[in-house]
Amino acid sequence: DTGVSQNPRHKITKRGQNVTFRCDPISEHNRLYWYRQTLGQGPEFLTYFQNEAQLEKSRLLSDRFSAERPKGSFSTLEIQRTEQGDSAMYLCASSLSAGGGTGELFFGEGSRLTVL
């Protein structure tokens, strides 16, 4: 299967610890997105990359959050000094940029974070 892959699928951590999630997009996709989803809500946009450039960041992405896509392939999302309010599902998606495809986003299965 060459879909979007996310690791780890589940992470339990104590408040104040740092966590990092990894996303491997579909190989030919140059855009990569991070979303956060809490229970009963739709996914909320956090940020997106085109190749290695981070082109947009949501106000939801506080200073404790940082995302990178160093070689334009996989991406990492790091949360420093985690808080209980960070508990959520973190979803990654990828797509082709303008001019290719339907603009469809392909999502991974997400990384669930629980902060105790």
Partner 1 sequence: DAKTTQPPSMDCAEGRAANLPCNHSTISGNEYVYWYRQIHSQGPQYIIHGLKNNETNEMASLIITEDRKSSTLILPHATLRDTAVYYCIVRVANADGNKLVFGAGTILRVKS
- CB nearer to partner 1: pick between 45 and 80: 45
Q: How far is the CB of 99 from partner 1 (least distance, A)?
A: 7
- CB nearer to partner 1: pick between 24 and 43: 43
Query: Residues in the site for partner 1, rule: CB under 8 A?
Result: 4, 31, 33, 35, 40-45, 48, 50, 55-56, 91, 93, 95, 97-99, 102-110
Q: How far is the CB of 47 from partner 1 (least distance, A)?
A: 9
- CB nearer to partner 1: pick between 5 and 80: 5
Q: Do 27 and 94 touch, CB atoms closer than 8 A?
A: no
